[in-house]
Amino acid sequence: QVQLVESGGGLVHAGGSLRLSCVASGSRFSISDMAWYRKAPGKQREWVAFITHGGSTNYADSVKGRFAISRDNAKNTVYLHMNSLKPEDTAVYLCNVPGAFASWGQGTQVTVSS
């Protein structure tokens, strides 16, 4: 019964930046891989960034070089630093444990205006 709470979204102009946070309940956070996903209206949910329990990262090609995922195990929190935002990044952003999904949180809305 891991609970996930995302925050940090907002409305920004193209080229702007945001930092998203995801707080996960439970005592196993430090040994869990984590990922960020996004869901735009009318489109399938897509994976955007991944971080292992040890801190290794990987990114979807669409965000590589612009986004950075990190974690703070002491705070049970994973972050997504988003730079050079584009209108195509507009979506609800969600976090979860890849492969062993907990219930999805509410997500946090990111809207990028042109």
Sheet of 18-24, strands arranged across: 4-7, 18-24, 77-82, 67-72
How far apart CA 83 and CA 39 sit, in angstroms, is 18
CA angle, 29 as apex, 74 and 71 as ends, to 5°? Answer: 55
Beta carbons within 10 angstroms of residue 22's beta carbon = 26
Supply the pLDDT for residue 18.
98
Q: pLDDT tens per residue, the chain (114 residues)?
A: 689 999 999 999 999 999 999 999 987 888 899 999 999 999 999 999 999 999 999 999 999 999 999 999 999 999 999 999 999 999 999 999 998 888 999 999 999 999
Enter the tokens of residue 33: 């891989």
Supply the pLDDT for residue 44.
96
DSSP state of 42: T
DSSP run (H or E) holding 37: strand 34-39
Residue with tokens 């735009």: 40
